[in-house]
Structure 1
Amino acid sequence: MVSPNWVPPFRLLAVTLSSLKLGPAFPPWLRSQTSLEILQIRNASIATIPEWFWVSFSRAMFVDLMDNHLTGTLPARLEFMAADVMILSNNRLTGAVPKFPRNITYMDLSRNSFGTLPSDFRAPHLEALILYNNSISGPIPSSLCSLSQLVMLDLSGNNLTGEVPSCQEGSVNPLLHNLMVVNLNTNNLSGEFPRVLQNCHYLALVDLSYNRFSGDIPAWIGVKLPNLALLRLRYNMFSGQIPIEIGKIQELQFLDLAHNKFSGSIPDSLVHLSAMARTSGYSYVLNSVIRAGRGPHLYNSIYVVGFFIEKESFLTKGQQLEFSEQIPYMVVLDMSCNNLTGAIPQDIGALIGLRSLNFSWNNLRGAIPEKIGGLQQLESLDLSNNELSGQIPSSMTGLTSLSHMNLSYNNLSGKIPTNNQFQTFDASDYIGNIGLCGYPLTNNCTGNSSSGPTNADHGDGSDDISLYLGLAVGYILGLWVVFCVLLFKKRWSTAYFVFVEGLQDKIYVAMVLRWANLKRKVGET
């Protein structure tokens, strides 16, 4: 136990005291360590930051107090600190976000309860701004455009309103051309697709989901964002047709446009998304973002700066997956809950890296493409609530990785395949298709008029035809044998007719006696 009055006889340059129960008070002996350059006290149950902290450690370059129980507000003097890395995430800090230190490059204030942003960031060297899961309201300040070195921007999980600054004429830096990650999901932002993004040629991840954005997806997205690997726009009010130019983004392997108001047909150009056609299904672009996204680390008192990526949940395969190190392996195409019409692209099977395909809740017509059987890595398929017709393609029996499938509420007909993965699906996956028959539905297939081809049935009804033909031939041959025997064997024919006459007499006598007995019983009653 260190005495609160103890003054160390030494001067430290680095202190790392993570995962120790030091709190709730901040260790007072550190007050004398004014020469500290690195201070890391994570998960130490500290509840308060003393006033002297901001003076004693004003020259510290690396300050990390994440995963504590810190309360209160941050002081205005924060901007005069020398820190270039500051991590105060997962605490209970409130109030306004103050102006940042002038030399800051990495600022993580996520998972607190901050309420407002500064009108002027004044951080020309800032590369990562991480403020997700707070209570920040109001618009995004236009001073965001002055952050010329910004690589990662994460303002998700707040109450932000208004439009994203366009950063065009009159801005200090109209380009923000270094941005690689933009995460604005779960706010109340509105307006059109942010125009500032057309200047961000290095963008790898854009998440605008769960907002109120509207208008079209601009055609320039296919030219201006060649490195885009993940585009997530679900739960907005985007409308119009999906631009064919989106098929030019060769690195795009996660496309989520669900729950919007898109209309028109699914562009055939999507089958040219080469990142979805990789046999490995692995994105080196997303992997580089995630590897850099593990945050700053300390190695022998030397810190290396990376960029943290929020652990966000994605719905796929009927389950939630974390938006984390799994991202490079997630190959997803989701256009569910829109107003799309037309047919599913015939060459959809070219996207052999797809893990999840969801076109449900649209107005799609036509047959399920036979080439869909080429999606050998597909784990989740949802085509429910459309107007698809025809039979379930026999090629789908080859989708051996399929663990979740929903074809309900369409106009499909014919016999349900029973091979491989199809044995694991239940009736709810086919409900609402009155023309379907066979297991696991209760209506059995009769004859061969409605039976779809499967490997188990041979698909052409040849066994049934052979059976009926054999019975007919056997019946005819049997009659001819009996006729010939009775015609050419006089003794046998005489005996046959005598037997038949005797049998008729016996039947007649038995019926007369039974009738007389029945009348007697009726008379007695």
Structure 2
Amino acid sequence: MSGFITQSLGQLASLVALDFSENSWEGAIITEAHLDNLSSLKEVSITKQSTNISMLFNISSDWLPPFKLTYIYIRSCQLGPRFLAWLRNQNELKTLVLNNARISHPFPDWFWKLDLLLDELYVGSNQLSGEIPNSLQFHCPSNVNLSWNCFEGPLPLWSSNVSSLYLNDNLFSGPIPQKIGGMPYLTDLDISWNSLSGSIPLSIGNLNALTTLVISNNRLSGKIPEFWNNFSVLYIVNMSNNNLSGKIPTSNQFQTFNDPSIYEGNLGLCGLPLATNCTDNNKTPHFPGEEDTDDGDKFEKQWLYLSINSRKVLIRYCIFCIGKFLELKKAVEENLKKDECSLIT
């Protein structure tokens, strides 16, 4: 279907489900007149696989709908720039999907007070901003996707019923909360491309159901914990471009993650599958038979030892410089993201 949407749609008082998905509504506009008398409406689905915006919602901020929706799935329609004010009385929602909807303002305070119990919250690919409280509740299982926005503050975690959590490509900062290990149904976790710091919490080892763990492009530091034998179904891992250090674990499960790109950008990491070998910095090299050699041999070996150590110093200096460059690159990317978000909001 294509063209304009007739306002007589608003006279279908018995209509329960409205689905305009995968149609070519070029220039179509939805107003209050299309919705005013749909008192039985429970579900709205307007989706497109294409990211091109073809439908516009032009609804007054003081309009209150006559219906109580349980299901909203809207993708690639222009709902913004402000968050949908007409949702403020929709306290029966179970599914809320507003993906690629050109919303560029914070969630309003009233949204967090709706006392919703959700199956799915998907507001990815907008420019939503502000901090996210931990007050939302979810059914089991449930999916949360806040990716590709401008959210900031500490990483939000909700009820233990969440099964997939996508918080990537935002401005979240601070440590990964220890209580993340209290989400036993979690199968997919992507918190990449934020500004998270601190170490990888040991409590992640409690997430036995994980199949995907992506923590790349943050500021995480310290060693990779030895908890990988807990994951029997984990098959996607990415921890690249952080400040992790030490030896890459060699447990049986971890040996399956043998792609170097999983670990690249962590200059302090060593061991397979990286080309960087692990060395004991506290151990002094010892040459066999050194005590029995003459002064000439000792001099040659001492010269060799000094040459090797000079090369080690040079390599470490190069690594230090590369590390500083990567830190600067990360800072520039974060500032560009912040500038982009501030321009839109």
Classify the TM-score, shorter chain. Answer: 0.7 to 0.9
Residues 167, 128 of structure 1: alpha-carbon distance in 2 compared, 3 angstrom cutoff: farther
Matches within 5 A, 1:314-463: 331-425=163-257, 426-447=259-280
Q: What percent of counterpart residues are identical?
A: 36
Alpha-carbon distance in structure 1 between the residues aligned to 2:45 and 2:127: 21
Match of 1:257 among 146, 150, 167: 146
Aligned-partner SS, 1:212 = coil
Query: May I ask how many residue pairs the two structures share in their alignment?
Result: 282
TM-score, length basis structure 1: 0.50
Conserved? CA contact 1:188–1:212, under 8 Å? yes
Residue of structure 2 in register with 1:119 after alignment: 7
Alpha-carbon distance in structure 1 between the residues aligned to 2:222 and 2:58: 45
Deviation at 1:222, TM superposition (A): 4.0
Conserved? CA contact 2:75–2:99, under 8 Å? yes
Q: In the TM superposition, what whole-angstrom CA distance separates every residue of 1:368-395 from its partner, at most 9, and x where no partner exists?
A: 1110001100000110001100011112
Matches within 5 A, 1:86-165: 113-121=1-9, 122-136=11-25, 137-143=27-33, 144-157=35-48, 159-163=54-58
Residue of structure 2 in register with 1:224 after alignment: 114
RMSD over aligned Cα atoms: 2.7
Conserved? CA contact 1:228–1:251, under 8 Å? no
Conserved? CA contact 1:360–1:382, under 8 Å? yes
Tell me the amino acid that sits aligned with residue 67 of structure 2. Answer: L
Conserved? CA contact 2:45–2:74, under 8 Å? yes
Alpha-carbon distance in structure 1 between the residues aligned to 2:252 and 2:81: 48
Alpha-carbon distance in structure 1 between the residues aligned to 2:86 and 2:281: 60
Alpha-carbon distance in structure 1 between the residues aligned to 2:76 and 2:145: 15
Conserved? CA contact 1:154–1:182, under 8 Å? yes
Tell me the amino acid that sits aligned with residue 263 of structure 2. Answer: Y
Residues 166, 175 of structure 1: alpha-carbon distance in 2 compared, 3 angstrom cutoff: farther
Matches within 5 A, 1:467-486: none
Q: In the TM superposition, what whole-angstrom CA distance separates every residue of 1:38-60 from its partner, at most 9, and x where no partner exists?
A: xxxxxxxxxxxxxxxxxxxxxxx
Q: In the TM superposition, what whole-angstrom CA distance separates every residue of 1:410-461 from its partner, at most 9, and x where no partner exists?
A: 0000111111331121110000000001111111111277xxxxxxxxxxxx
Conserved? CA contact 1:116–1:138, under 8 Å? yes
Residue of structure 2 in register with 1:273 after alignment: 159
Alpha-carbon distance in structure 2 between the residues aligned to 1:448 and 1:163: 66
Unaligned runs of 5+ in 1: 1-112, 277-330, 450-463, 469-474, 480-525
Alpha-carbon distance in structure 1 between the residues aligned to 2:143 and 2:126: 17
Conserved? CA contact 1:217–1:243, under 8 Å? no
TM-score, length basis structure 2: 0.75
Aligned-partner SS, 2:3 = strand
Residues 439, 164 of structure 1: alpha-carbon distance in 2 compared, 3 angstrom cutoff: farther
Alpha-carbon distance in structure 1 between the residues aligned to 2:59 and 2:144: 21
Residue of structure 2 in register with 1:281 after alignment: none
Deviation at 1:249, TM superposition (A): 4.3
Residues 225, 194 of structure 1: alpha-carbon distance in 2 compared, 3 angstrom cutoff: farther
Matches within 5 A, 1:61-100: none
Alpha-carbon distance in structure 2 between the residues aligned to 1:360 and 1:133: 31
State the structure with bigger RCO (CA 8 A, min sep 6), 1 or 2: 2
Match of 2:126 among 236, 241, 251: 236
Alpha-carbon distance in structure 2 between the residues aligned to 1:150 and 1:332: 29
Alpha-carbon distance in structure 2 between the residues aligned to 1:204 and 1:406: 32
Conserved? CA contact 1:348–1:372, under 8 Å? yes
Unaligned runs of 5+ in 2: 293-345
Residue of structure 2 in register with 1:176 after alignment: 67
Tell me the amino acid that sits aligned with residue 161 of structure 1. Answer: L
Q: In the TM superposition, what whole-angstrom CA distance separates every residue of 1:107-128 from its partner, at most 9, and x where no partner exists?
A: xxxxxx3222112311000001
